[in-house]
Amino acid sequence: MMEVCGSTNVSLREFGCEQTLLSRPDGSASFVQGDTSVIAAVYGPAEVKVSKEIYDRATLEVLIQPKVGLPSVRERSQEQCVRETCEASLLLTLHPRSSLTLVLQLIHDDGSRLACFLNAACMALMDAGLPMSCLFCGVTCAINADSEIITDPTAAQEKESRALMTFAIDSKEQRVMMSYTKGSFSVHELQQCIAVSQKASENIFQFYRDSVRRRYSKNL
Amino acid sequence: MAAGFKIAEPLEYHRSFLKENCRPDGRELSEFRTTTLNIGSISTADGSALVKVGNTTVMCGIKVELTNPLVEAPGKGFIVPNVDLPPLCSSRFRPGPPGEQAQAASQFIADVIESSEVIQTEDLCIERGKLCWVLYCDMMCVDYDGNVLDACIIALLAALKNTKLPEVTINKDTGSTRTSFCVFDDSILIVDPTAEEEGLSTSHLTVVTDEKERLCVVHKPGGTPLSAEKLQECIGRATARQREIQKLVDKVVHSVKTAQ
Amino acid sequence: MSPMKLCVPGDKLCSTEDCIPGTGIYLRHGCIYSSLTGYVLKKNEGEELPVISVVRETETQLLPDVGAIVTCKVTSINPRFAKVHILYVGSTPLKDRFRGTIRKEDVRATEKDKVETYKSFRPGDIVLAKVISLGDVQSNYLLTTAENELGVVVAHSEAGAQMVPISWCEMQCPQTHSKEFRKVARVQPEFLQA
Amino acid sequence: MPTDTKRVRGPEVSQSPTLFLCKHAAVLPSHGPRADGRQRDQVDVRPVFVRCGLVSQAKGSAYIEAGNTKLMCCVYGPREMERKDETDMKCGKLTTDMRFAPFSCLERGSWIQGSQDKDLSLMLHESLQPAVCLHKYPRSQIEVNVMVLENSGSVLAHAVTCASLALADAGIEILNQISGLQSDGEMTEETLTAGVRTCIEGCYKLYPVIQQALTKAVRRAAPPPSES
Amino acid sequence: MFSGLREKVGQVLVPGDEFSLEVQETLSLTEPLKPEKVLLGPGLKRRGDRKLLVVKSGVLRHKQPHVFWVENHQRRYVPAKGETVIGIITVKSGDVFKLDFGGSEQASLSYLAFEGATKRNRPNVQVGDLVFAQFIVANQHMEPELVCVDSAGRANGLGVFGAGGLLFSVSLGLVRRLLRPRSDVLSDLQKLFPCELVVGMNGRLWVKASSVQQTLIICNLLQSCETMTTAQRQQLFRRAAQGAL
């Protein structure tokens, strides 16, 4: 792993999470990062449409609902990112010919929304008890005009940034599962951002573990 | 019965090739397919280009229109990129509105334009707050055999170079090129995947670089995780590819100019 | 050898008095016309007149026909039937997906009422089968494996290894040596090699 | 108009700059040679370039270029019926889809298929239906997709030609090659028959071109089978 | 043996946690020398020969000698052979009924899988009926199959039921708590009202008490049990017994 230089800020905003907050879905979670907030709901394994049936694994669908209005092309592209990340961590072959649906509702957007979608998705999948080979989390990094790296930026910080990167990191080896970038940057900056995200992911995974422990505290 | 093996066990079939460091179509792991480019072939469009990367064929047509700039961005014009994957190009697409893949591709192209600053939207403004240009860039896939995003970017770039705006000059000095990679079995990297290889691989990675070899987009929509070293390897390959494509585009644009 | 004659659809080839119509052609007003682009082939099959056909080397068969031997992949099974995807008709690969059904009573020729689909096929198996009917509006192509040469040709064990047939109803995993039940086709060496 | 959420959207209204240029006299001269120098009332077909089997993914494909009109057609199938309830046990189904690329006309086309496209699809279907031996493809469908890359007149006619080429290239049994020509304008009965006659004559002229393209494609695809 | 795993029993695990199944080099004298096989329940998967992977979040549980599983609050039921569930008949077709049991596909139930049923003497079962049945086929490859007879051909409590009662759903975790031997919730409930209770492993419960009111009270009590500690529950039951609800 690369050395994280001293000037970069690995601080993350305050997190919040609640599992099983909805009664209808098979699994649900809300995830809050600062003022950004997302609710995720998972349905399945349920019956699958014949046209979408895959004979040796489950079919996963991801739907992202923006705060207002209909989902647009931007949501579609983020859906693809979330879906493929979930597909890589879920053990889909254990539920062949069935469907999984993940609905992500944006409650409030104050930056790092893709990261928040990923975190909410992971908590909801865990809540639904779907078999997963590892956990994943999302981290957004912004590079501002002074070439400083800001983790988990707010909407205002995102706007001022020169480049914006979101990574999904897996819990096993802290490798990059997904990357989504905007703006231009050097190779060195990319490597730095990845290193920072990997460091930040440790905090998030610890947070995951703590909130699951809290949830099961009654059963201990 | 080799053909039987290919259809019945496609993954095993590809693995048996990769073991030998080659691919079913005879290419090496890091070898691109032949790329050809033809520009200005559509007279009804203001700029057009046809790109073939192996079998994959993408046509980009640009239509230029006039409109009013937005109140919140009075000094900016518009670029509206859309990728169309019609049922014509592969049996996997159905008629009707664009599917998820086409939509994600459109968004990707829009991101590339914004990040690489291929065109400054400020340059498309004719009179501040009153009149500006809108460039409708439609990329139409005619033959879908993998790596469509690469072909789309090349087509877009070439078509933009081919576009002439009446009485307006645009500086289009930054070009950008992308390179697609596929990850097989979590560890083997291949470039310029065909449709079949795309379907079997576990992860995709797309790197876009500009002329100054800065990175514009590093897009990896999920899939199996990748270490930082592998990523570095991909970026190195992408910059090399960028130079090749730049040369190709320049050559074709130049040849068209001299022909006029 | 003289170069073969090429024809396009609508070409008049000869009169019905000269040849017996084969494939890739149609009859109109006592004449034989081509309905395909391809090579004109005349074959003498011991009868008075030669059989005339138009053939294309690439794709001879576009659709599964009754009586055709097909190669398919099992996609799902339930106690009454197995659902398959047809991959090949004869030796011609199909570009598009066609679905077929092997009903429990069509799995084998003897002791039909003792057949258990789960002991005959598993999802993912590659099966050789024969088309017995095109089915009806609601159903798929109906297939049978009730012949010695038909049945499972490639199967993977629970451990993931390709299994070796040991009898007409059992296969063995080379790794764990566990045996699994299948309706095994009589060994066809060329397929196993691949 | 409902907003299109499935594409990257631009400004709500925009005009083509050609609207602001002064229009040249749009009236066609009723005598003398046509604008591109071809003769009136004669079988003077634009030079046609035809090629088969260009699209790797399709079962059969064809590209036609006549003057500036450029069309592409792909044939997929026969494949399983998409909708189970429409399955016909005796006869296959032919579906046609004809679309214009947004940059194919002088006016930028909308993304959503207009009624014109649907009408053309239907007419294309009607011209092809009788020629295809659908009874040979029970319970399956054959899809014909046409994409107009550049429109400079006679689109439907060339679409028909192109589609029949692609069908033949796909190895789907058809009774005859069809080619189309179009003549436009309001017609009296007399000029109509004359028009039809010139069209038929023109089609004959097209025929060898088509034949050549097809045989070339077949030769490329496969060597002649040995005579046995 | 499996000390790594043993240490974690009763603790919360999350997907991705790994354990080694390596046999220790120093064998303790108190444990038998013969290497024993570990039995893995829900939430645990073998990875290769030596590794064990946690795939679901929850509390690790252990039963002698070497049975381990992860207990979690899953709501969606995944069928397993031998489990008994409450299903609703949805279709009668040919020789089988189709049942909805809340899983990813419908289960089949043969006409002949009822006590005393023969080809002539078909059981009287209608669409919409509730059936208490046991899985004899339940795996990822096949359509699940249910029966209403045991291996001896007896009903043994299985079959059609449910006139006048109330069917509702709870979490799978609560069902397992109810079915535990000497279940505390169940014993508390028995003290309250006399009632009939059918518990399906698929999270469906059916209750019938002497009056509609009592049925509804039991239903509400059971549903609220999920999120309560033992003390809270006992207090609630006491209030119910006093007629406060």
D37-44 LR contacts (CB < 8 Å, sep 24+): D41/D194, D41/D198, D42/D198, D43/D198, D43/D201, D43/D202, D43/D205
How many other CB atoms are there within 10 angstroms of residue A37's CB atom?
Answer: 20
Contact criterion met (CB < 8 Å) for A70 and D8: no
pLDDT mean over E59-65:
85
Cis peptide before A45 (omega within 30 of 0): yes
How far apart (Å, rounded) are the C-alpha atoms in residues B29 and B192?
Answer: 9
- Please tell me which residue, B1 or E69, carries the higher pLDDT value: E69
pLDDT mean over A87-104:
93
Contact A57, A92 (CB under 8 A): yes
Q: Residue C90 pLDDT more than 50?
A: yes
Contact criterion met (CB < 8 Å) for D10 and B97: no
The pLDDT, as a whole number, for residue A209 is: 93
The pLDDT, as a whole number, for residue B154 is: 86
Q: Residue E28 pLDDT more than 60?
A: no
Question: Chains A, D: CB contacts under 8 A, how many?
Answer: 11
Q: Which domains does chain A have, with CATH numbers?
A: 15-215 (3.30.230.70)
Name the minimum distance, in Å, from the CA of C43 to any CA of chain D: 7
Contact criterion met (CB < 8 Å) for B235 and A2: no
Contact A83, A61 (CB under 8 A): yes
How far apart (Å, rounded) are the C-alpha atoms in residues B51 and B149?
Answer: 11
Chain C contact present for B9, CB below 8 A: yes
Q: Mean pLDDT in chain B?
A: 80
For residue D228, the chain C residues in CB contact (below 8 A) are 43
What is chain B's percent helix, strand, coil content, to nearest 5? 35, 30, 35
The pLDDT, as a whole number, for residue C15 is: 86
In a domain, B62, yes or no: yes
pLDDT mean over E90-103:
89
Contact criterion met (CB < 8 Å) for E15 and A134: yes
CA angle C172-C174-C175, nearest 5°? Answer: 120
Condensed to tens digits (0 to 9), the pLDDT of residues C66-76 reads 888 999 999 88
Rg (CA), chain D: 20
DSSP string, C47-85: SSS-EEEEE-SS-S-SS--TT-EEEEEEEEE-SSEEEEE
- Please tell me which residue, D44 or C104, carries the higher pLDDT value: C104
Q: Residue D85 pLDDT more than 80?
A: no
- Report CA C71 to chain centroid distance, whole Å: 5
At residue D42 the predicted structure's pLDDT band, cuts being 50, 70 and 90, is low
Amino acid at A75: E
At residue B211 the predicted structure's pLDDT band, cuts being 50, 70 and 90, is confident
Cis peptide before E65 (omega within 30 of 0): yes
Contact criterion met (CB < 8 Å) for D102 and B55: no
Condensed to tens digits (0 to 9), the pLDDT of residues D5-20 reads 788 877 877 777 766 6
Contact criterion met (CB < 8 Å) for C71 and B8: yes
- Assign residue B180 the CATH number of its domain: 3.30.230.70
The secondary structure of residue A50, as a DSSP letter, is G
The pLDDT, as a whole number, for residue B5 is: 65
Q: Which chains touch E (3 or more CB pairs under 8 A)?
A: A, C
Name the minimum distance, in Å, from the CA of B29 to any CA of chain D: 22
Contact C126, B8 (CB under 8 A): yes
How far apart (Å, rounded) are the C-alpha atoms in residues D206 and B154?
Answer: 36
Nearest to B197 by CA among B185, B212, B206, B208: B185
Residue in chain D closest to B140 (alpha carbons) equals D101
At residue B172 the predicted structure's pLDDT band, cuts being 50, 70 and 90, is very low
3.90.850.10, 3.40.50.720, 3.40.395.10, 3.30.230.70: CATH of D44-107+134-181+200-220: 3.30.230.70
- Report CA B132 to chain centroid distance, whole Å: 26
At residue B4 the predicted structure's pLDDT band, cuts being 50, 70 and 90, is low
At residue E231 the predicted structure's pLDDT band, cuts being 50, 70 and 90, is confident
In percent, how much of chain B has pLDDT > 90?
Answer: 11
**How many domains does the structure of chain B reveal?**
1
pLDDT mean over A171-179:
90
Q: Which chains touch D (3 or more CB pairs under 8 A)?
A: A, B, C
Q: Residue E219 pLDDT more than 50?
A: yes
In percent, how much of chain B has pLDDT > 70?
Answer: 87
The pLDDT, as a whole number, for residue C143 is: 94
The pLDDT, as a whole number, for residue B174 is: 47
In percent, how much of chain E has pLDDT > 90?
Answer: 22
Question: Chains B, D: CB contacts under 8 A, how many?
Answer: 130
In percent, how much of chain C has pLDDT > 70?
Answer: 89
Chain C contact present for D217, CB below 8 A: yes
In a domain, B184, yes or no: yes
Q: Which domains does chain E have, with CATH numbers?
A: 3-71 (2.40.50.100), 84-161 (2.40.50.140), 166-241 (3.30.1370.10)
What is the domain extent for residue B223?
28-259
At residue B173 the predicted structure's pLDDT band, cuts being 50, 70 and 90, is very low
How far apart (Å, rounded) are the C-alpha atoms in residues B194 and B32?
Answer: 10
| Tokens 């909410």 -> residue | A120
In percent, how much of chain A has pLDDT > 90?
Answer: 65
In the numeric block, which tokens belong to residue B177? 């090129």
The pLDDT, as a whole number, for residue C16 is: 83
Among A48-62, D214-228, E89-103, where is mean pLDDT lowest? D214-228
The pLDDT, as a whole number, for residue B35 is: 87
At residue E84 the predicted structure's pLDDT band, cuts being 50, 70 and 90, is very high
Amino acid at B217: V
Q: Mean pLDDT in chain E?
A: 84
Chain E contact present for A20, CB below 8 A: yes
Among B184-193, B219-228, E120-129, where is mean pLDDT lowest? B184-193
Which range, B105-109, C12-16, C93-97, E173-177, has the best average confidence (pLDDT)? B105-109
The angle, 0 to 180 degrees and rounded to 10, between the axes of the packed helices D189-221 and D155-170 is: 30
- Please tell me which residue, A47 or E66, carries the higher pLDDT value: A47
Condensed to tens digits (0 to 9), the pLDDT of residues B52-77 reads 988 999 999 988 888 888 888 888 88
Contact E16, E44 (CB under 8 A): no
Contact criterion met (CB < 8 Å) for B227 and A1: no
Nearest to E21 by CA among E58, E57, E48, E61: E48
At residue D227 the predicted structure's pLDDT band, cuts being 50, 70 and 90, is very low
Contact C121, C182 (CB under 8 A): yes
pLDDT mean over A86-111:
93
The pLDDT, as a whole number, for residue B171 is: 45
Q: Which domains does chain C have, with CATH numbers?
A: 6-55 (2.40.50.100), 69-188 (2.40.50.140)
In a domain, B12, yes or no: no
ipTM, two decimals: 0.85
Domain boundaries, chain D: 44-107+134-181+200-220
The pLDDT, as a whole number, for residue E103 is: 87
In a domain, B150, yes or no: yes
In percent, how much of chain A has pLDDT > 70?
Answer: 95
Condensed to tens digits (0 to 9), the pLDDT of residues C126-161 reads 999 999 988 777 778 899 999 888 999 888 887 778
| The model's pTM | 0.87
**Distance from the first to the final alpha carbon of chain A:** 37
Amino acid at B62: I
CA angle D102-D105-D110, nearest 5°? Answer: 35
The pLDDT, as a whole number, for residue D226 is: 42
Contact criterion met (CB < 8 Å) for E141 and C123: yes
- Please tell me which residue, C150 or B249, carries the higher pLDDT value: C150
Residue in chain A closest to B100 (alpha carbons) equals A76
- Please tell me which residue, A77 or D205, carries the higher pLDDT value: A77
How far apart (Å, rounded) are the C-alpha atoms in residues E98 and E92?
Answer: 6
How many other CB atoms are there within 10 angstroms of residue A203's CB atom?
Answer: 16
How many other CB atoms are there within 10 angstroms of residue C153's CB atom?
Answer: 22
At residue D182 the predicted structure's pLDDT band, cuts being 50, 70 and 90, is low
The pLDDT, as a whole number, for residue C2 is: 45
Residue in chain C closest to D169 (alpha carbons) equals C37
The pLDDT, as a whole number, for residue C177 is: 84
How many other CB atoms are there within 10 angstroms of residue E174's CB atom?
Answer: 20
Which range, A93-102, D134-143, E30-39, has the best average confidence (pLDDT)? A93-102
Contact E148, E97 (CB under 8 A): no
In a domain, B124, yes or no: yes
- Please tell me which residue, D66 or A192, carries the higher pLDDT value: A192
In a domain, B7, yes or no: no
pLDDT mean over C103-124:
87
pLDDT mean over C156-183:
86
